[in-house]
Structure 1
Amino acid sequence: MSTPGHGSVHATGPTDRTDWIDLIGARRAVNGSWRLGEAEPGPHASVQRQLHLRSFGTDLTAVLLTPDANPPCAVVVVPFYDTDTLLGRPSPLYPAGRPGPGRDYALRLAARGLGVLAVPWWAEMLAEREGPTDLSARYGPPAATHAAQHPGVTGLGRSVADLLLAVDALTKIPGIDIDRIGSFGHSLGGKHALFLAALDPRIRAAVVHEPGLGFAHSNWRDPWYLGDRVPQLRDLDELAGLIAPRSLLYAGGGASDGTHNADVAQRAHQHWPSPGFDVLMHNTGHPLPDHVFAACASWLTDHLN
């Protein structure tokens, strides 16, 4: 792990959390609510409970794993397409026979003794179960319906609002250390984890892998993210800077994140007056290799414990 070299500060005028919250519409649904299900034995000596979230008229079922010993525990919020994938179960998106590194991030974090909250993505929950896997065909219709029903709330804003509601719940659940809440995400989950950490100061440390740092370096204009709300006079170095002085590990494989957007990472680093912004690049592409995940998980464990 390394820290990027210093570059010139990207001066685009003052910005704060409120600016970004207003920009993407990341405000909790007026009638948002949550309910915690019954406890049952979980994997890796954990207690497993469902966390039922009601947000923007959609029911999302997150899964909470907490160690069955030594409370209060740290908890990592892990957003992704669905919870089955995060828990190592086959899903329509990632069937058991699909090649590539494992995506059972929640399961492997729990094996390290961390609490984990696996949170599904609203657009995947509203997509056709047996529908196409092409992103636009699968998530375009839910995004269009959302835009018509909730003007001013971007698709990304809705995702962040769901996660803010989930963190609200965590702060009310006995046995959770509210001062040791982290976030972890890969790809789509990396985008969500980045914005959550930036816009919610309750997040103590975050790991984001291949989020596409910089609006020019990923599909931020897709309607389930920002659509035509991508700002012209600011970039994600400012957003990432809102995490400082809390800890951030920014990781990439040379696809969405690598040498081509190192300048954005350098500008982001300017917001940290002391150590706290770390970089891990592996240059093996967009998927998160198992050995790189292990390094990210170790970093997160250290910073939450």
Structure 2
Amino acid sequence: MGLTPGTLWSLLGYPGGPPGLESVAIVEASTEGTMTVEAVRLTISGKDVPGTLLRPRAAGPRPALLYAHAHGNAPGIGRTELLSGRPALLSPYGPALVEAGFAVLCLDMPGFGDRQKDGPESALAKAALWRGRTLLGQMLSELSGGLDFLCRDPGIDATRLATLGISMGATHAYWLAALDPRVRACAHLCAFAEIAPLIDSGAHDLHGPYMTVPGLLAAGDMGDVAALIAPRPQLVCSGADDPLTPPEALTPALSRLRAAYAACPGALSILTEPGSGHAETCAMRDAVLSFLRHALA
């Protein structure tokens, strides 16, 4: 069985694809310097999904980022990462992306931020599996609803959308890009690696249970997922000393990607930082901003 977006949605527990966005409410809007900050609430599958949307104050349809927040064993952070950052980042991405001319949307994932009341990650993952679904599938279906929201906003250029994230957010970023052709480009940091070698070494247990996709390895691995993004632009950043992306798991994943981009090698950018662990570096930040300016030009 080869991997296709339809196959992936089925493995995630959504054989008919994501349910889509039902409604949107703007809860609050304010101005901070050269950007506007909107608190939004999306309704997806009957669930309230809170989000933060940043926009440059200058008028005109803007390219936009769906920014996926990280995990970091810090469920209280969630979407506040966009404006407040987290230890794995040099600084918050939100202001830097707005300064570069992008609108940015970040949603609280189940069990994170304002949704901690939904329950802890382990309980949510177990409940999803009992129901024939996966927590990763729920997260990606909600992020797909975030794309619906961006595509319907008259202030957003729906032909210039990208995904971005670090760690769990990186996994979300490249999976969503693989699943949804509306994503024109994808940049991800500190998560890309084949799962099979991680299982062999036991390093897969460094990931949270949200990431479990029953049956994926019978059809492919993470490199095959990210390969579905080709020929759309993709940036992969990794730390050479990151325990989540060790060479035995990163190298085969990158090999699959390079093969997928053989006909369009200029669309694939890879940065592996020597001496760096599970954290963003200055070179990664520069690469991300340069990549997005070019990919969404």
TM-score (norm 1): 0.81
**Counterpart of 1:127 in 2: which secondary structure?**
helix
Pick which of 279-288 and 41-50 moved more: 41-50
The CA deviation at 1:70 is: 4.0
1:149-168 maps to which residues of 2 (within 5 A)?
151-168=131-148
Pick which of 195-204 and 21-30 moved more: 21-30
The CA deviation at 1:60 is: 1.7
**Counterpart of 2:24 in 1: which secondary structure?**
strand
For 1:291 and 1:237, how far apart are their aligned partners in 2?
23
Residue 88 of structure 1 aligns to which amino acid in structure 2? S
Residue 51 of structure 1 aligns to which amino acid in structure 2? V
Q: 2:68 aligns with which of 73, 79, 89?
A: 79
For 1:215 and 1:296, how far apart are their aligned partners in 2?
25
User: How many pairs are equivalent?
Assistant: 275
Q: 1:282 aligns with which of 266, 270, 273?
A: 273
**Counterpart of 2:269 in 1: which secondary structure?**
strand
The CA deviation at 1:213 is: 2.2
Q: Following TM superposition, where does structure 1 have runs of at least 4 consecutive aligned residues deviating by more than 6 angstroms? A: none
Partner of 2:54 in structure 1? Answer: 65
Q: 2:121 aligns with which of 139, 144, 154?
A: 139
Q: Does 1:119 align with 2:110?
A: no
For 2:91 and 2:19, how far apart are their aligned partners in 1?
29
Once the two structures are superposed, residues 73-115 of structure 1 have per-residue CA deviations (whole angstroms, 9 ceiling, x without a partner) of 00000011511122117xxxx5xxxx66445122321122211
**Share of identical aligned residues, percent?**
24
Structure 2: 5+ residue stretches without partners = 71-77, 199-203
Partner of 2:256 in structure 1? Answer: 267
1:118-267 maps to which residues of 2 (within 5 A)?
118-124=106-112, 125-127=114-116, 138-148=120-130, 151-216=131-196, 217=198, 218-219=204-205, 222-226=208-212, 228-254=214-240, 255=242, 256-257=244-245, 259-260=247-248, 261-267=250-256
Q: Does 1:108 align with 2:96?
A: yes
- Contact kept, 8 Å, 2:56 with 2:99, in 1: the verdict is no
For 1:157 and 1:117, how far apart are their aligned partners in 2?
19
The CA deviation at 1:249 is: 0.3
For 2:285 and 2:260, how far apart are their aligned partners in 1?
26
Partner of 1:8 in structure 2? Answer: none
For 1:85 and 1:39, how far apart are their aligned partners in 2?
18
Change (3 A) 1:242 1:73: same
TM-score (norm 2): 0.83
Structure 1: 5+ residue stretches without partners = 1-12, 132-137
Once the two structures are superposed, residues 129-179 of structure 1 have per-residue CA deviations (whole angstroms, 9 ceiling, x without a partner) of 9x9xxxxxx42123223334xx22211111110011110111111111001
- Contact kept, 8 Å, 2:3 with 2:219, in 1: the verdict is no
For 2:232 and 2:174, how far apart are their aligned partners in 1?
12
Partner of 1:23 in structure 2? Answer: 11
For 1:228 and 1:220, how far apart are their aligned partners in 2?
17
Q: Does 1:46 align with 2:38?
A: no
The CA deviation at 1:209 is: 0.6
- Contact kept, 8 Å, 2:189 with 2:236, in 1: the verdict is yes
Q: Does 1:299 align with 2:278?
A: no
For 2:220 and 2:173, how far apart are their aligned partners in 1?
19
Change (3 A) 1:280 1:42: farther
For 1:230 and 1:238, how far apart are their aligned partners in 2?
10
Pick which of 293-302 and 171-180 moved more: 293-302
For 1:15 and 1:100, how far apart are their aligned partners in 2?
31
- Contact kept, 8 Å, 1:123 with 1:142, in 2: the verdict is yes
- Contact kept, 8 Å, 2:165 with 2:173, in 1: the verdict is yes
For 2:126 and 2:88, how far apart are their aligned partners in 1?
31
For 1:41 and 1:213, how far apart are their aligned partners in 2?
40
Change (3 A) 1:178 1:219: farther
Change (3 A) 1:296 1:226: same
For 2:30 and 2:283, how far apart are their aligned partners in 1?
28
Once the two structures are superposed, residues 33-77 of structure 1 have per-residue CA deviations (whole angstroms, 9 ceiling, x without a partner) of 231416734345122222212234432211111222141100000
Higher relative contact order (CA 8 A, sep 6+): 1
